[in-house]
Amino acid sequence: MLLDFSYYNPTTIHFGKEALSNLSGELAHYGKTVLLVYGKAAIKKNGLYDQVIAILKEADKKVVELSGVMPNPTYNKMLEGCELVRSHGVDLILAVGGGSVIDCAKGISVSAYCEEEPFKKYWLEFQPVSNKTVPVASILTMAGTGSEMNGGSVITHEEMKIKGGRVFPPEIFPKFSILNPEYTYTVSPYQMVSGVFDTMSHLMEQYFCGNDNNTTDYLIEALLRSSIDNVRVALNDPEDYEARSNIMWNATLALNTVTGLSKTQDWEVHMIEHQLGAYTDCAHGMGLAAISIPYYRHVMPHGLDKFARFAMVVWNIPAEGKSQEELAKAGIDALEVFCKECGIVISLKELGATEEMLPKIAESSFLLDGGYKKLNSDEILEILKECF
């Protein structure tokens, strides 16, 4: 049964090989000064930086730059951007990069004119945005987070050892996002498969809740199957445009809020991984993969119907001769085999965690109740030990 919902997504998507040609027209809707936010050297090496700068200059924009945004953007880096926004009167924040860069841009947008302490107000207390904000737009170079079409912003407060995630309302979504799958060709295999598992984790967080069979579940299953099929192709041929296109669009659809409609949603795997990332700075998708396998084995008995369906529909495991529990277990086993096949890390030790970190990660993880079982910190610690 579909639960009641309201749906709105304001982001315009320009997708394809010629997507960047739309940037000039979009810039016409905004003021003079643009804050260009990007990572380290990648967009300069592949020539995208020069292309974007040329378009900005042709549009007669004043360009202010915030470079060096890290894979897990820190609060201090975000505050650097806030200062640039205020001192230059920025009219548009243009993020060029992956999800971390876009997350940082959204954080800058809501924080630049916040008169209170932004991390406390927005990432810890989840207060509504009450101050002036700055429009955000993006040019995506790595698929996985879906940040190009949602309000999510994950920021790491290094001193507090908290990796805080906040979903802001549609007013903070990127106004437009440019998606050219060719920009992902130079992403390393490690980062590519990390992004694909991030996509899959988003889908599973929204799938493993409730035992109904609504349209949203069918959409999630199709996107999971597409992600599995296409990452295998892309690993063999990193410049297979069709595979890269599907991977990129899967990631956007997995978290543009459409696959969460009518679902209670879980998100506990993400809450645990956020704290893992706060302590280790590991690749987000890899952290999710390491936690997902033991986590789903732990909660599986409380959602057997859905886990059995996952095995049959997503992994094509026949039900004949298997109990419901055996079928559900086989689906999680198939997920683990897939991770190993693709080089996705499933050991916390390989991600830089130490045994001493585990109790701290468990104690600081946010506890949610949207999934099949609400955990306590002791159960989270056991899960962390299992994937160590």
pLDDT tens-digit readout, 92-127: 999 999 999 999 999 999 999 999 999 999 999 999
Fold of 12-183: Rossmann fold (3.40.50)
| Per-residue model confidence as pLDDT tens digits over 26-63 | 999 999 999 999 998 899 999 999 999 999 999 999 99
| Per-residue model confidence as pLDDT tens digits over 329-374 | 999 999 999 999 999 999 999 999 999 999 999 999 999 999 999 9
Degrees to nearest 5, angle at CA 367 with 362 and 371: 120
Nearest to 63 by CA among 83, 34, 41, 39: 34
The DSSP letter of residue 258 is G
| Per-residue model confidence as pLDDT tens digits over 168-197 | 999 999 999 999 999 999 999 999 999 999
Question: Which single residue is written with the structure tokens 């990432």?
Answer: 123
Q: 211 pLDDT band (50/70/90 cuts)?
A: confident
Percentage of the chain modeled with pLDDT above 70: 100
pLDDT computed for residue 212 by the predictor: 77
Is the pLDDT score of 78 beyond 80?
Answer: yes
In angstroms, the CA 332 to CA 317 distance is 11
Is the pLDDT score of 65 beyond 80?
Answer: yes
In angstroms, the CA 40 to CA 243 distance is 26
The DSSP letter of residue 347 is -
Is the pLDDT score of 2 beyond 80?
Answer: no
Domain ranges of the chain: 12-183, 189-386
Give me the torsion for CA of 87, 88, 89, 94, rounded to 10°.
-120
Superfamily, domain 189-386:
Dehydroquinate synthase-like - alpha domain (1.20.1090.10)
Is the pLDDT score of 213 beyond 90?
Answer: no
Average the pLDDT over 295-318 and give the result: 97
pLDDT computed for residue 1 by the predictor: 65
Give every CB contact of residue 317 below 8 A, 6+ residues apart in sequence: 311, 327, 330, 331, 334
pLDDT computed for residue 4 by the predictor: 83
Nearest to 102 by CA among 54, 163, 144, 130: 144
* Alpha-carbon distances of 137 from 223, 250, 282, 315, rounded to whole Å: 25, 20, 26, 36
The DSSP letter of residue 289 is H
Nearest to 72 by CA among 101, 50, 92, 96: 101
In angstroms, the CA 373 to CA 12 distance is 37
pTM score over 0.85: yes
Is the pLDDT score of 305 beyond 80?
Answer: yes
Percentage of the chain modeled with pLDDT above 90: 95
HEC states along 126-148? Answer: CCCCCCCCCCEEEEECCCCCCHH
pLDDT computed for residue 41 by the predictor: 83
* 313: phi then psi, degrees, rounded to nearest 5: -85, -40
